Each structure stands twice: as structure tokens, then as C-alpha cells.
A = this chain, B = another copy of it.
């Protein structure tokens, strides 16, 4: 019996291109402001909002409003999000290793 192909275990919530970008960026540091995240990933406000909502519902990302006057949204990765991203990256490493054989 062979091991399952590395793509079989991928979770679409994490693997989807935009959400993978959001998680990877948030994993690399502290929280990021909405506009910075949007610009780094070349997204529209609506697109970022939609994907943040999916990530929040899966408890992979948390958001909070900060500041007075015009408060801004800041996003951060949760511990669950870090684990999910680590599992995704491990599967991608296995995929790349298989491709290089």
C-alpha cells in the first residue's frame, strides 16, 4: 500500500491561493493591518473581506478593530492557524520532493 498522494490531505480552507497567502503573511510576524494585507496580496477590499471571513469561521485567523476616530481592522493568525499552515507546508514539501524524484 502506497502512502496517499500529498495532495489528498490538503485542506481547501488553507490551500486556496488567497487564504494561503494571508496565512503565510500573518505567520511571518505579528498582526497586519487590513490595507497592508490587501496590498501585499493584490486584493480588493471585498476579496480580502471574504477570505478573512472564511479563515475566521475556521478559527485560523482572528481580527480586531483598533484605534479611535476611524478604527482599522488588524488580522492575526491563531495557534490553530499556525498548525494548519504547518500541515499545508509539509504536504507541499512532500509534493515538491516527489516531483523532484
- Interface assignment of A93: CB less than 8 Å from any CB of chain B: yes
User: Can you identify 25 A-B contacts, CB atoms within 8 angstroms?
Assistant: A5-B24, A5-B25, A5-B40, A5-B41, A7-B17, A7-B18, A7-B20, A7-B21, A7-B24, A7-B41, A8-B21, A8-B42, A10-B17, A12-B17, A15-B15, A15-B17, A20-B95, A24-B95, A24-B98, A28-B99, A85-B99, A89-B96, A89-B99, A92-B92, A96-B96
A7, A42, A95: most-surrounded residue (chain B CB, <10 A): A7
Please provide the 9 A-B residue pairs with the shortest distance between their CB atoms, ordered closest to farther.
A7-B21, A10-B17, A92-B92, A8-B42, A7-B20, A15-B17, A7-B17, A5-B21, A5-B40
- Interface assignment of A33: CB less than 8 Å from any CB of chain B: no
